[in-house]
């Protein structure tokens, strides 16, 4: 399926990042698939961005370290972001409410995974796939929040760990031709 996608320049990607990430949501997929090993996981994320840093296109995502996806993200150089059409909303909700630590999620959805030409795992059903090479990883620092009293009860109560920021170069941008 991935073969049917076409490679475009990030500048030509539509819609904008606020819509893609904040409204459409994305699946962050990390790990490997293959004959010997099939150790990958995918999770829904709606926080992040697409931009330009160190003179290259980048994506950045915020992942709590207690997600099953986190150690897989840390173990590999690269990961993918898959953006799916609206008909997969329930599957995205499923992947954002269930953890891969309890067993593979995809068989319980209508989605399947595929390998990108460079060997990363992405969603077959996506209309946009970004291949991302990690460049900067940092746990967010409570001291650096200027509005901690506002943010913490909402997002970091009850021992919920601070997010880890991953900034990655977008090495490939794939879209499904319309």
Ligand X SMILES: Cc1cc2nc3c(=O)[nH]c(=O)nc-3n(C[C@H](O)[C@H](O)[C@H](O)COP(=O)(O)O)c2cc1C
By the rule CB under 6 A, 63 interacts with ligand X: yes
Omega before 15 within 30 of 0, i.e. cis: yes
Residues 6+ apart with CB under 8 A from 28: 42, 43, 44, 45, 61, 63, 69, 73, 79, 80, 81
Q: How far apart are CA 101 and CA 72, in angstroms?
A: 12
Choice between 117 and 155, CB closer to ligand X: 155
Q: How far apart are CA 146 and CA 124, in angstroms?
A: 40
**Interface residue with ligand X, options 62, 76, 169, 176 (CB under 6 A):** 62
**Interface residue with ligand X, options 69, 80, 109, 116 (CB under 6 A):** 69
**Interface residue with ligand X, options 53, 93, 104, 137 (CB under 6 A):** 93
Cβ-contact 17, 61 below 8 angstroms: no
* Interactions with ligand X, residue window 97-116 (CB under 6 A): 97-101
CB of 134 to ligand X, least distance (A): 16
Q: Which tokens belong to 2? A: 């991935």
Choice between 16 and 66, CB closer to ligand X: 66
CB of 174 to ligand X, least distance (A): 21
Residue span binding ligand X (CB under 6 A) among the ranges 43-51, 73-81, 124-132, 168-176: 43-51
CB of 55 to ligand X, least distance (A): 26
CB of 76 to ligand X, least distance (A): 14
Q: Using CA of residue 90, residue 93, residue 98, residue 101, what is the dihedral sign?
A: positive
Return the bridge partners of 174, or none: 7, 129
Residues 6+ apart with CB under 8 A from 38: 32
By the rule CB under 6 A, 25 interacts with ligand X: yes
> Where on the chain is the footprint of ligand X (CB under 6 A)?
25, 41, 43-47, 62-64, 67-69, 93, 96-101
């Amino acid at each position: 399926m991935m073969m049917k996608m076409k490679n475009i320049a990030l500048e030509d990607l539509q819609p904008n990042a606020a819509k893609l990430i904040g409204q459409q949501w994305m699946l962050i997929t990390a790990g490997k698939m293959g004959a010997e090993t099939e150790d990958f996981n995918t999770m829904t994320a709606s926080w992040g961005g697409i931009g330009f840093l160190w003179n290259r296109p980048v994506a950045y995502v915020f992942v709590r370290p207690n997600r099953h996806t986190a150690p897989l993200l840390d173990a590999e150089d690269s990961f993918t972001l898959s953006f799916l059409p609206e008909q997969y909303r329930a599957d995205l909700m499923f992947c954002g409410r269930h953890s891969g630590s309890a067993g593979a999620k995809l068989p319980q959805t209508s989605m399947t995974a595929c390998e990108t030409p460079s060997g990363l795992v992405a969603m077959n059903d996506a209309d946009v796939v970004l291949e991302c090479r990690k460049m900067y990883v940092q746990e967010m620092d409570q001291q650096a929040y200027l509005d901690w009293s506002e943010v913490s009860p909402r997002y970091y109560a009850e021992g919920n760990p601070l997010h880890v920021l991953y900034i990655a170069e977008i090495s490939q941008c794939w879209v499904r031709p319309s």
